[in-house]
Amino acid sequence: MYAYLVEYWVPFPSSEYGGIQIVIASSNADCISILEEHVSDYDKKAYPNYKTLIETEVIKAKVLHLSTANSYERGILQEFIT
């Protein structure tokens, strides 16, 4: 498992200061899937290209390998978004 430090994908000015989402996932595709699952209906309508925006940020994300000695649950661990 990996910890992805993903910059918030909603563009300026809607997200004035951006933010960060920390996601526990097994791969880039898994991270993208997790983030897509949490997109609100409003954001899906406001940003019809949300999948591309998310994918772009996941590709640029800092990725940390997590110890195999511990078990981690996939999902959004923490987020700070504006």
The structure's pTM equals 0.89
Structural domain boundaries enclosing 6: 2-81
Grade residue 71 by pLDDT with cuts at 50, 70 and 90.
confident
Provide DSSP, 42-54: HHHHH-TTHHHHH
pLDDT digits 0-9 by tens, 7-52: 998 877 677 778 999 999 999 999 999 999 999 999 999 999 999 9
User: Distances from the Cα of 27 to the Cαs of 24, 39, 44, 53, 66, in angstroms?
Assistant: 9, 19, 23, 17, 12
* Predicted local confidence at residue 27, as pLDDT: 97
Q: Count of domains in the chain? A: 1
* Predicted local confidence at residue 38, as pLDDT: 95
3-class secondary structure, 80: strand
Return the number of other C-beta atoms located less than 10 Å from residue 75's C-beta.
Answer: 11
Nearest to 5 by CA among 15, 17, 19: 19
